Structure 1
Amino acid sequence: MKIAIVLGTSRRNGNTANLVEYFIEQYPAQCTLFHLSNYDIAPYDYNFNNQDDDFLPLITNIIENYDAIILASPVYWYAPSAQMKVFMDRLSDLLVINKPLGRKLKGMSAGVIATGVVSKPNTCFEEIFRATFNYLHMPYIGMLYCTYADEIENIASHQQYLDKHVSTYVTTAFA
């Protein structure tokens, strides 16, 4: 299974980026990272005046070449990062002006990787993803969430913690 991981975070070496890198290290042959900071993606526009940005080439690559997509974001105020929200909003392009491409999302597995300061994120965070994937008829494989509250300030330095969470996620999501 080829997995596209789309990372939306403002900190290249932050906890979410570290968790994604750790995940990729465990499954390097299957995973490819797409860091949204490397792309120029404009916000959704009802007049579609944003078609010269990087969204369409990026999503086309993902849809045409991968079996699953994992969206990775820190939890910011109960929601995904601004970069991730813009990316997700642009999926609307695939429902209006790029319908043939959008139809190819149907059946593609989709999941979430996230980090935050609370031990368990508020349900509204995951629901944004779950509802989006459900609307697009993408089987939801669940969320890998790790906290960095209290004693875990840098999740990358906690090998045992990561091993447990990543292996549990992979076992349930990709079984």
Structure 2
Amino acid sequence: MPLVFLGSARQAGDTHRLVARVLADIPHTLVELLDWPVVPYNYQNDYPAADAFQQVAEFMLGHQVIVFATPVYWYSMSGVMKQFFDRFTNLTDMQKQLGRQLAGKHAFLLAVGSDRELPEGFEVPFRRTAEYFKMTFEGSLYQSLKQPFPEEEARQFAHQLSALC
């Protein structure tokens, strides 16, 4: 069953609708990052007890397929998703054992925005982060709100994703 990290400032927005539409026939676990207090990374590794990064990161261990879903904000991932990605730094030092357990997993990207195409370089942080942790970045699906829904691409994306579960 895929694990979907939804990183949007609007929980019932376009990105949530994209996830629901693409994964309509695929059982999945949805983690809305707004519901999990992940505080910004700090070099002292001093986090409040309410910080949920450890728990959210551990969710990944129980899933072979991880989907990152984000709107495009100013040609990049949302701030919520970026803050989550910044905390992956903890998986390279104080939580290195947890980070190593991501090897072999599969990562996908779902994005939605108002531009006609996904901005140049948008995939890079997702692809390179997956590579760093020895995960396989399987690809992305982008929905432009200015164009019809990409039915065939969404079908192929869902098929590829479900084949790995």
Q: TM-score, normalised by structure 1?
A: 0.86
Cα deviation code 1:96-146 (max 9, x no counterpart):
001111100111101100001112112211112111111111101100111
Per the alignment, residue 145 of structure 1 pairs with 142
Per the alignment, residue 34 of structure 1 pairs with 31
Displacement after TM superposition at 1:58 (Å):
1.1
Mapping of residues 109-120 of structure 1, within 5 Å: 109-120=106-117
State the alpha-carbon separation in 1 of the partners of residues 157 and 145 from structure 2: 17
Taking only aligned residues, the RMSD between alpha carbons, in angstroms, comes to 1.6
State the alpha-carbon separation in 2 of the partners of residues 101 and 34 from structure 1: 18
State the alpha-carbon separation in 2 of the partners of residues 51 and 62 from structure 1: 22
Per the alignment, residue 159 of structure 2 pairs with 171
Select which of 44, 57, 60 maps to 1:59: 57
Displacement after TM superposition at 1:162 (Å):
5.3
Does residue 81 of structure 1 match 2:78?
yes
Unpaired runs of 5+ in structure 1? 153-160
State the alpha-carbon separation in 2 of the partners of residues 144 and 95 from structure 1: 28
State the alpha-carbon separation in 1 of the partners of residues 25 and 161 from structure 2: 15
Instruction: Give the letter for the 1:170 counterpart.
Output: A
Say if 1:142 and 1:173, in contact at 8 Å, map to a contact too: no
Displacement after TM superposition at 1:56 (Å):
0.3
Displacement after TM superposition at 1:62 (Å):
2.0
Instruction: Give the letter for the 2:156 counterpart.
Output: T
> Residues 68 and 26 from structure 1, CA distance in 2 versus in 1: closer, same or farther, beyond 3 angstroms?
same
Say if 1:146 and 1:165, in contact at 8 Å, map to a contact too: no
Say if 2:23 and 2:158, in contact at 8 Å, map to a contact too: no
Say if 2:26 and 2:162, in contact at 8 Å, map to a contact too: no
State the alpha-carbon separation in 1 of the partners of residues 129 and 60 from structure 2: 17
State the alpha-carbon separation in 2 of the partners of residues 128 and 135 from structure 1: 10
Does residue 20 of structure 1 match 2:8?
no
Unpaired runs of 5+ in structure 2? none
Does the residue aligned with 2:24 lie in a helix, a strand or coil?
Answer: helix
State the alpha-carbon separation in 1 of the partners of residues 129 and 64 from structure 2: 17
